[in-house]
Amino acid sequence: MNPLDLLRRGYDTVEIATLLKATEAEVEKQIHRLREEEHRKAVKREQRRAYQQNWMRKYREELQSLRGKA
């Protein structure tokens, strides 16, 4: 279990540091890094979703234009 999971379960950083045999500063750095990583992944997911939606819109428009010409 990582420090961010423990924090979300209600442990404070001092308790987490004790459990992980680390300093409180190390735990805080790990929590910060894990939150940044979650944020980056969420941004990438949103960009991928937007790209897919845009691609599908263009595909449908192209199909419509081809059907209109037939």
Structure tokens at 69: 């010409």
E runs forming strands in 1-70: none
Total residues found in the chain within this entry: 70
70 — pLDDT class (breaks 50, 70, 90):
low
Report domain extents, the chain. Answer: 3-69
49-35-42 Cα angle (round to 5): 0
**What average pLDDT does this structure show over 45-66?**
97
**What is the model's pLDDT at position 25?**
98
Angle at 47 between CA 42 and CA 48, to 5 degrees: 95
Question: Would the pTM count as exceeding 0.85?
Answer: no
